[in-house]
Amino acid sequence: MRKFNLAFAILLITPLCFAQTKTIAERLGYPADSKLLIIHADDLAVAHSEDAASFDALDRHAVTSASIMVPCPWLTEVADYAKAHPDADLGLHLTLTAEWKTYRWGPVASKDTVPSLLDPSGYLWPEVEPAVRSLKAEEAEREIRAQIEHAMAVGIHPTHLDSHMGTLFARPDLFAVYVKVAHEYKLPFLAVRTPDAPKELLSVLSEKDVVLDSVVIAGPQVGAANWKTFYYNAIKNLKPGLTEIIVHLGHDDAELQAVMADHPDYGAAWRQRDYDVVSSPEFKQVLEENHIILIHWKDLKKLLK
């Protein structure tokens, strides 16, 4: 599964695009050279195991943020958690793909209103590339609006938006829809600085938009034996600015193994490793030793007011 082959290929923005007089750290009340970090858990609602591990990490402050896949079957469980934990930092992982082999989902919007989102089996496309070839921007917008409205209808008050498998970053018109909807709902959204961002992408951004300096995510090239080393080195090498580490948490149990069958990349064992690392005392110690300041998306949301 090529989960992030396009996810950050077109993430934004050139450092020279907007002349902000203060860094994000300064705007949040920290020294200009602070190392700010969001530790973010993806994919809530995809499975009970995913939820249980992520809720535990949120409760223990092992992660500072998480995002929810609204079309997925365990949304009600996440909604119950959100109501019981109103201070939890929960965004929406806007979902236009359904990547697992035998565990699939469709759109929130009525299928007849978003036909370009559907593969021949009637579910969301399993991979980014065929999705991007098929998607009509107006139908993608209809679906992500439906996801946001449905989340709010079940009691979730999102702190931010991002994109499952990076689908909304893969074409300029899809990115424009993503930014447009985020602006209308007054939500910060995931976007990252790159030195070569296309002008057609930059044009949709506002001076008020909060843009990350870097994103860290484990890829298939990281062997299981090097899992801790990958994350510890990422922390040690953080530069001043705003970084997000994206993790995928879960318990390597029968449920998650069935959901993620035949997908070792981002599968059940992968998610157990992520959970084990971020919830460990050693990981907390590395954060402290490197003077990392943990923040939340809801902190960034306040900057938009």
The pLDDT tens digits of the residues spanning 258-296 come to: 999 999 999 999 999 999 999 999 999 999 999 999 999
Q: What is the pLDDT of residue 181?
A: 98
Q: What is the pLDDT of residue 208?
A: 87
Q: What is the pLDDT of residue 198?
A: 65
Domains of the chain: 24-302 (3.20.20.370)
Q: Which helix (H) or strand (E) holds 80?
A: helix 75-84
Parts of the chain with a pLDDT under 70: 1-20, 196-200, 202
Q: What is the pLDDT of residue 22?
A: 87
Q: What is the pLDDT of residue 247?
A: 98
Q: Is the peptide bond before 13 cis (omega within 30 degrees of 0)?
A: yes
Check residue 36 and report its DSSP letter: E
Q: What is the pLDDT of residue 193?
A: 81
Q: What is the pLDDT of residue 197?
A: 64
Q: What angle do CA 113, 119, 121 make, to 5 degrees?
A: 105
Q: How far apart are CA 218 and CA 4, in angstroms?
A: 10
pLDDT in tens, 67-102: 999 999 999 999 999 999 999 999 999 999 999 999
